[in-house]
Structure 1
Amino acid sequence: MKKSTSLSNILQLMIPEEKIRPILEELKYIDVARKFTVYDLLLFLGEAAFQQWDGYRDGEQRMSLCGQRAVDHSTLSKKAKDVPFALFKRLLDLMIGLCNRKTQRVLGIPKELLIVDSTTITVGLGRLSWAPHKGQKSGVKLHVGIIGDQGELHKVTETTGYEPDLKSCPDLLDSRFILVADRSYGKHKLFDSYQEQKKRQYFVIRLRDNTIFTHPIPRERNLPFEGSIEQDLTCQLGQKTTLTRNRFRVVILKDPQGNPVILATNLHWYSPEGIADIYKKRWQVEVFFRWIKQHLNIPRLFGSTPNAVYGQLYTALLIYVLLKFLFDQGNEIVHFSAKLTFADFDRLFTLQTLPPEWCVYLANATFFTSKN
């Protein structure tokens, strides 16, 4: 079975054409094309991400080999420019709902982590005049939330490269998880809102090194700190207009280079070592960004309009969710001797050299729809 054919078949089973029609109606988009429809564009962008095609011209030469309707590159470009990217964002949410493990917990203290961060995709200034970035570059941002212990994509939103991460943060929050984030999300007043909202948002967020601690009180501890932990205290953060209404816990440790890492949290029952371990899991989002950029064509933007750019990016993330689902489910089904790492699964799938058990598993496409 060829890699391209198997992925296209599975994508069509997971999201059949009839599922996009009501979304198009909501978006008030009328697809008048007969030769190359919106659904054809979805399949094209999916294969382009998976096989890392170079652009519309390259895809024009390859799409017929995948069983897709062959059209010229200008048709591809016009369609990508015309279809609202909100469709692909909705389809990503749909795929996440189909593939990710549902969180059953509604009440009680959350234990799973929601790691939030952003990545910027930059190109020359002339490519995206509507999205200036720095110097002679333009760019867009993807803001994502990853379920840390599972490595699953949970929420995504988009902005231009100049927009601060804090502006997108409310779109990514989910009180069912512990929010984990870096310094760019460490605005003191947000901590008050997390603490005071009806369903409290628990968090572990790194603070800037020059943060002021007001009325600090060290937490009592009978045993010496373990590892790189140096301080564990409670305080109000900031001063004057930036002073928080609530007291928060602050854990200070050293990184491997000896630099201070200052963590703010409202998890008062965890040990300081436990707080440090939670923050260390933030690296998983960096691994995610590196993976999608290396394997899903994220840095190579085909079009130059918001619809074309964000449509391509959201479809690439949709393919990531699908691949992660195929891998996770497959590793549960195949014999232990055939189990793979995600990296090996992607590599062998790309080379079309998966072990026989995996080929049988992927060929049994009805499995994916019956689970959902």
Structure 2
Amino acid sequence: MLKFIPRHEFETLANQHHQGRKLRKMSRWSQFVALGLGQLSGRSSLRDIVTNVSAQASKLYHLGASTVSRSSLARVNEQQPHTLYEALFGKLLARCQGLAPKHGFRFKNKLYSLDASTIDLCLDVFPWATFRSTKGAIKLHVGLDHSGYLPTFMTVTDGKAHDVTVGRTLKLPKQSIVVFDRGYTDCKWYNLLDNNDIFFVTRQKSNATFDVIERRSVTKKSGLTSDQTIKIKGSKAADCPIALRRIGFRDPGTGKHYVFLTNNFKLAASTIANIYKSRWQIELFFKWIKQNLKIKTFLGTSKNAVLTQVWIAVCMYLLLAYIKFCNKLNSSLQQILRLLQLNLFERRGLVDLLRGDPPKPLDPQLQTQLQFT
């Protein structure tokens, strides 16, 4: 698996993101191997990771890594910048994007879902993670590319950061479509997205005031209830002077009624509704990384140690996605992870393992060549 990360590229990043004196007892690569092993195998503590790495000491040489002590690993997690793994995330993302399958819609525009997820922390243990008077938290802000469901945009903030504040900082490509929930409601941002030639799809708040400029007929059999052109009125009118499209949709399964807002007037109303429905993929992304990777319990208490663990976790997610895309596997990421957990140090081909092929027997001639006469 580690062959997918060029060692020379990693060392270049490690030198760029180094702080203080040269490391003597361990390297950043050994840190990455140890914490990556902890993510993939579900280890829950530094002692647990160190014990499992030591158990594989004879196999670490071929990985270019070495055994680590608990104190050394804790010190490097706390002192060496987490930005190394943020930069590695960018490298892995670029590779994944070149192999990722397209989204399932007919239009060619890039499609992104935008959302944030809060990870609760104990304020007494993590005093830097201020959220509320008695609670601590950090927040993961993610822009999920629907081509391969990759976290193309990601940042980590304290729990107080508002979703739309981070959303405004994203630099989305022109003609792309971004979908988000009502937590990102901001008329000024709507206008800014439209000025930057970016389409958005969101839900309208129930207390919004507007004037209907035009009504279009809809096919009610498909669940659509309305398709209108509106303009915001009231105190927010000056913030969003552009015309918006308002689409009503009733879910045939649950009977719940939804009202969507968008600045895209070309796509069919049913497509707009399906675009918002696809936003559920980012909820599944957060659910997956919280259930399958270690980002809810942390190995260190400093901010740098926490961010190091989070960025290595998403690097492991991209590594699994890259393996899936490279080999065109039909298995889910969870199935791939579960299979790898029991075979991380097995000496067999990765592709054969993931495709369920039986292990190839060793050539007896190669064995006899290693024997001394």
| Superposition TM-score, scaled by structure 2 size | 0.82
Match of 2:232 in 1: 237
Give percent identity, aligned residues only.
25
Are the aligned partners of 2:99 and 2:325 in contact in 1 as well (CA < 8 Å)? no
Greater displacement, 21-30 / 121-130: 21-30
Q: Distance in 2 between matches of 1:127 and 1:181?
A: 33
Which secondary structure state, in structure 1, belongs to the residue aligned with residue 328 of structure 2?
helix
The answer to whether the 8 A contact 2:199-2:262 is kept is yes
Residues 115, 179 of structure 1: 8 Å contact kept? yes
CA distance in 2, matches of 1:138, 1:316: 21
What is the match of residue 351 of structure 2?
Answer: 358
One-letter identity of the residue aligned with 1:247: A
Deviation string for 1:111-152 (max 9, x for gaps)?
Answer: 231111111111211121111223532111111111124222
Contact preservation (8 Å) 1:209, 1:260: no
| Bigger relative contact order (CA 8 A; separation at least 6) | 1
Offset at residue 30 of structure 1 (A): 4.5
Contact 1:204–1:275 (Cα < 8 Å) also in 2: yes
Aligned counterparts of 2:165 and 2:336: Cα–Cα separation in 1: 36
CA distances 1:323-360 after superposition (whole Å, capped 9, x unpaired): 0111222235xxxxxx5333322222223399988336
Structure 2 distance, partners of 1:238, 1:352, is: 61
User: 1:211-222 alignment to 2 at 5 Å?
Assistant: 211-213=208-210, 215-221=211-217
Contact kept? 2:145, 2:152, Cα under 8 Å: yes
Assess if the C-alpha contact under 8 Å between 2:216 and 2:226 holds in 1. Answer: no
Which AA in structure 1 matches 2:182? R
Q: C-alpha distance in 2, partners of 1:57/1:28?
A: 25
- Aligned partner of 1:251: which letter? I
Q: 1:234 to 1:305 in 2, by over 3 A?
A: same
Alignment of 1:287-326 (within 5 A): 287-326=284-323
Could you tell which deviates more after superposition, 167-176 or 58-67? 167-176
Q: 1:246 to 1:137 in 2, by over 3 A?
A: same
- Residues 147-195 of structure 1: CA deviation (Å, up to 9, x unaligned): 1242222121111111111121134442253101111112111011111
Quote the Cα distance in structure 1 between the aligned partners of 2:247 and 2:290.
33
Equivalent position of 1:117 in the other structure: 115
Structure 1 residue aligned with 2:340: 349
Equivalent in the alignment of 2:189: 190
Question: Offset of 1:35 from its aligned partner?
Answer: 1.6
Alignment-derived partner of residue 34 in structure 2:
44
CA separation of 1:103 and 1:240: change in aligned 2, threshold 3 A: farther
Unpaired runs of at least 5, structure 1: 1-9, 333-338, 363-372
Distance 1:39 1:254 in 2: 53
Residue 202 of structure 1 pairs with residue 199 of structure 2: yes
| Contact 1:23 1:87 survives alignment (8 Å) | yes
Alignment partner, residue 178 of structure 1: 177
Letter in 2 for 1:239: G
- Between structure 1 and structure 2, the one with the greater Rg is 2
Q: Secondary structure at the match of 1:141?
A: strand
Given that residues 31 and 37 in structure 1 are in contact (C-alpha distance below 8 angstroms), is that contact kept between their aligned partners in structure 2?
Answer: no
Give the conservation status (yes or no) of the 8 Å contact 1:81–1:303.
yes
SS in 1 for 2:220: coil
Task: Give ranges in structure 2 of 5+ residues lacking alignment.
Answer: 356-373
Cα 1:24–1:351 change in 2 (3 A) is: closer
Aligned match of 1:340:
331
Measured in 2, the distance between the counterparts of 1:360 and 1:279 equals 37
Check conservation: 2:209, 2:234, Cα contact below 8 A.
yes
1:277-308 deviation line (CA, Å, top 9, x unaligned)? 00000111111111111111121111111211
Contact 1:202–1:265 under 8 Å retained in 2: yes
Pair 44,238 (structure 1): closer, same or farther in 2 beyond 3 Å: farther
**What CA distance in whole angstroms lies between the structure 2 residues aligned with 1:266 and 1:351?**
49
Deviating more after overlay: 55-64 vs 258-267: 258-267
1:33 maps to 2:23: yes
Q: Residue 167 of structure 2 aligns with which residue? A: 169
**SS at 2:183's partner residue?**
helix
**SS where residue 358 of structure 1 aligns?**
helix
Matched-pair contact (CA < 8 Å) for 1:226–1:273: no
Contact kept in structure 1, 2:181 and 2:203, CA below 8 Å: yes
Amino acid at match of 2:204: L
Distance 1:217 1:193 in 2: 22
Instruction: Tell whether the 8 Å contact from 2:138 to 2:156 is kept in structure 1 after alignment.
Output: yes
Match runs of 1:97-116 below 5 Å:
97-101=94-98, 110-116=108-114
Q: TM-score, normalised by structure 1?
A: 0.82
- CA gap of 1:126–1:168, structure 2 versus 1, over 3 A, is same
CA contact (8 A) 1:56 1:302 kept: yes
Q: 1:101 to 1:170 in 2, by over 3 A?
A: farther
Give the CA RMSD over aligned residues. 2.7
Change (3 A) 1:28 1:47: closer
Query: Do 2:118 and 2:159's aligned partners in 1 also have CA atoms closer than 8 Å?
Result: yes
Q: What's the offset of the Cα at 1:361?
A: 7.2
SS of equivalent to 1:117: strand
Give 1:76's match in structure 2, choosing from 70, 73, 96. Answer: 73
What is the rounded CA distance, in whole Å, between the counterparts of 1:31 and 1:97 in structure 2?
31
**Letter of the structure 1 residue corresponding to residue 352 of structure 2:** C
- Partner residue of 2:263 out of 266, 272, 292: 266
CA spacing shift, 1:283–1:253, aligned 2, 3 Å:
same
Q: What is the CA–CA distance in structure 2 between the aligned matches of 1:96 and 1:45, rounded to whole Å? A: 19
